[in-house]
Structures are given as C-alpha cells and as structure tokens.
Amino acid sequence: MRDVEFEKWLDKIGLAKKAIQNRISNCRNVEKKYFDLDEHFYKDKGLSLLALLTYSTEDQRTKIAAKHTIQIDGDIRTGTATLKQSVNLYMKFCEYEDEQGFISTLLKSDIAEITDNKDLSEEQKMVLVKYRIGQSEYRKKLIEYWGGCSVCGCNQTDILIASHIKPWSECNEEEKYDLYNGLLLTPNYDKLFNEYLISFDEFGHILISDIFSDEDLKKLGISRDDKIASNKLTMSHVGYLIEHMHIFLGDKFIY
C-alpha cells in the first residue's frame, strides 16, 4: 500500500484527519492477512478481496462465519463493513491514479505478464507483483529527488536507472526503499557502479578502477573529476556510500 499517496488523496476528497488515519489503519490490518492492496488492484481491481469482506445482516442472523480471517473486536458485521469500505476507497484511489496516467504503461504490462503466467502460483504472483510495484515507486521517488542523473545531471528520465548503493540483496525491508540508499544513474554509470568498477567517497567524488585508461573513460563519457551532485548529497547518503566504498574499494580503485 502506498500510504503517503493514499493519505494525500483521502485529504483531497475531503475526509477528516481522524477518518483518514482510520482508513489507513484498516487497510494495513487487511494487508496483514491478504497481502499488498496494490497487488489486489492489479489482479482483479480488488473484487475477490472485497467479496471476502462482504458480510450481510442475513449472514449475521443465521450465524454464518465470515469469509475472511481478520480479527475483529466487537460486532463482526460492522467491523467487516468498515474494513470493506476502507479497501474500496483504496481501490478507488488506485483507479484514480490509473486514469490520471500515474501508473506507467510499462508497469501495467509487466504486471499483466506476471498475473497471466500459468506456471506461477498465486502466492508467487503476489510476491513478484509487489516487487515490481516497489521498484516502480522507488524509481519515481528517486526521479523526484534527484531530477536527473545523480552524477552528470542528464534529465532524460526514460533512460535513467534507479540504482541501490547498498545492494538490494543485502538490504533489510527499510533499506530496500530508503530514498537515501539510491542514486539515479545513466546506464554507463549504473553498470560500472553495480559491477564495482566505480564507487563514490563520502564527499561524492568518483573512485575509478585502475583497469580503465583515460581513453576508455572518454569513450564511456566518464571523467575522473565526476562527483555526485553536492546540493543533493546528504549525510543520510554518506553511510551507504561509505559501506559501498569499504566493501568494494580494495586496491583496484584509484582517484
């Protein structure tokens, strides 16, 4: 669930602050049992989840068990209806973003490919969709922060790559989506950075493998004077940069 964007949208449509927090809390409770709400939107617009959260007065009268397994304190029908209303609002929020073009055609295509894959279980599909959505949202955050390549300033965002400073595979959940664990790089910088052939020190100055000649660097469009944009580099980035530098520096890097 995209909490920040959802909160802004709820405020935009006129919900009171307390109501907004209640809706977000309800959605989080649903996600604890039934995975990420964005995944449900891309799967079937949330219809199967909303069906689980349907509990009528007749169901209550005849003492039929609720279809969902979410713990509810108090009246089951009222509690279930509240959860359903919150999830329904989130689906409307997703529809709004879709209509406004905030969700890229490429992302929708990738998700459709995952959900149509008959070789994957539903749980595997959920995990892959969640990963793809997370990647897309993370890249969007980096574009908003850096405005262009973190090093050369190229603002052709279609070609820029969201590159983790601390590798994804070594990150905890918080680090995976930490804005300050990311650089926005053109493909040449991204490839060399991920292959540990360049790095950056705590001041943002580039470190370059000594396997490259000046002629190589000229062809690659990389300079020994390159550095990360100083007006965007913060102490929150530095911890990640130092870790990257210490892990991958060795003797093969020179200024």
Using alpha carbons only, give the angle 71, 95, 157 rounded to the nearest 5 degrees.
115
pLDDT given at position 104:
61
Residue 239: the pLDDT is: 93
Torsional sign, CA 40, 43, 49, 50: positive
Question: How confident is the model at residue 158, as a pLDDT?
Answer: 82
pLDDT in tens, the chain (255 residues): 888 889 999 998 999 999 999 999 999 999 999 988 988 888 888 999 999 999 999 999 999 999 999 999 889 999 999 999 999 999 999 888 776 665 666 677 777 788 788 888 877 877 777 777 777 778 888 999 999 999 999 998 888 999 999 988 888 888 988 999 999 999 999 999 999 999 999 999 999 998 999 999 999 999 999 999 999 999 999 999 999 998 877 644 444
pLDDT digits (tens, 9 = 90+) for 154-201: 998 888 999 999 988 888 888 988 999 999 999 999 999 999 999 999
Three-class SS state of 103: coil
The alpha carbons of the chain give a radius of gyration, in whole angstroms, of 23
pLDDT at 252: 46
State the CB neighbour count (10 A cutoff) for residue 110: 18
Q: Tell me the whole-structure pTM to 2 decimals.
A: 0.56
